[in-house]
Amino acid sequence: MDTNAVHFPAKLDIVRQITPSICINSALKTMPPKMAAKAAGLLFSLQPHRLRVLPELTKLSLRAWLFPRSQCAVPRLDAPENKPKGLSGIATNVSPTDILEGYASGFFLFSHLGPQKWWAPEQRMVLFFDETHLEKNTRRLLRNGRFKVTIDIVFSDIVDGCAAPRTGRPPLTWITPRMKRLFQTLHEQGHAHSVEVWNQKGELVGGLYGLAVGNVFFTESQFHRERDTSKVAFAVLNAHLSHWGFVMNDGKHHTSYLAANGFRLISREDFNRITREFAQSPRNPERWFTDCKIDMDKWVAERPSLISGTTLAPHETTTDQIKQIVKF
């Protein structure tokens, strides 16, 4: 039997999938940066699985354009119901205070094209700290001192690193100049925080940033310039969050990268129960520092005491698990 003939269709399918991406990337490289970003955003929005959002998005956009004064800065809690993929509203003239309120209510901001949109998808990718997974290589990097990790030292550089195009990928980012300004303000107010990873030459080679609202942390984005540096940043961040009494780190969407770090999907209903209980908790906004009491070489993820006498049991049915920790 001709094995090449058997495998040729599969190979052809792969070629057909890869070739358009290569051509698109090549075309985008010839455009001015701003035009390339808009073109990439348009192509991203026109993917078949995203087209079903288009009718609702068009309706919301027209409403925001025709009746701007009638728009609420933050959507109602019932806004995502029956909306495709959790699209909840257009974020017009959103302020740092609005972002804090929206995140505490279970929404987040995201858009590759046009105005920012509020989203609350049916499932959220979250990390409960006792379920943190540290790969052997990550532990080795933490132990051998190859990288230095800091917190809240160069927030704007971290955001720029997250917004920069990835090698070999289209110049696609939701971190627009306006989003940078909003989160810079939130950082200056003590709500948004960054984790920085430096190599032995003193070069910034990875990191992440996010938003602390009550006892819930919302990771916005991460990047790496050297292998596994974003995993190092995640490990240090989650160790500090657990030590400081946070109950959850939200990663928003499912990715294999987050899953490898211990994140898992929970329902929007369960997510909102947690944010109602813990994102409203009082927490003084302030600049963060690395905590010398945390020994990353020996750190083991803990089961946080969320409510007196209860703990978050790993890998149980999520709804039953949430009922153990949230007052109904």
Q: pLDDT at residue 5 above 70?
A: no
Q: pLDDT at residue 35 above 70?
A: no
The residue that leads in pLDDT, 124 or 80, is 124
Region 210-235 average pLDDT: 95
- Predicted local confidence at residue 300, as pLDDT: 73
Measured CA to CA, the distance from residue 87 to residue 56 in angstroms comes to: 8
Region 276-282 average pLDDT: 87
Structure tokens at 233: 């940043």
Q: pLDDT at residue 130 above 50?
A: yes
| Domain ranges, ordered by start, for the chain | 52-116, 125-325
Q: pLDDT at residue 321 above 60?
A: no
Measured CA to CA, the distance from residue 286 to residue 315 in angstroms comes to: 33
Per-chain mean pLDDT for the chain:
77
What is the model's pTM? Answer: 0.75
Structure tokens at 44: 């991203």
pLDDT above 90: percentage of residues in the chain: 43
The residue that leads in pLDDT, 310 or 195, is 195
Region 55-76 average pLDDT: 62
Contacts of 314 (CB under 8 A, 6+ apart): 128, 130, 131, 303
Q: Provide CATH code, domain 125-325.
A: 3.40.630.70
Chain segment 182-208, per-residue pLDDT in tens: 999 999 999 999 999 999 999 999 999
Return the percent helix, strand and coil in the chain, to nearest 5: 45, 15, 40
* pLDDT band at 299; cut points 50, 70, 90: confident
Region 240-255 average pLDDT: 93
Q: pLDDT at residue 266 above 70?
A: yes
Kindly tell me the sign of the dihedral angle through the C-alpha atoms of 11, 12, 13, 19: positive
Helix, strand or coil for residue 85? helix
Q: pLDDT at residue 32 above 60?
A: yes
- Predicted local confidence at residue 112, as pLDDT: 67
Instruction: State how far the alpha carbon of 34 is from the alpha carbons of 20, 92, 173, 236, in Å.
Output: 21, 21, 11, 35
Measured CA to CA, the distance from residue 144 to residue 68 in angstroms comes to: 55
Region 118-140 average pLDDT: 90
The residue that leads in pLDDT, 47 or 8, is 47
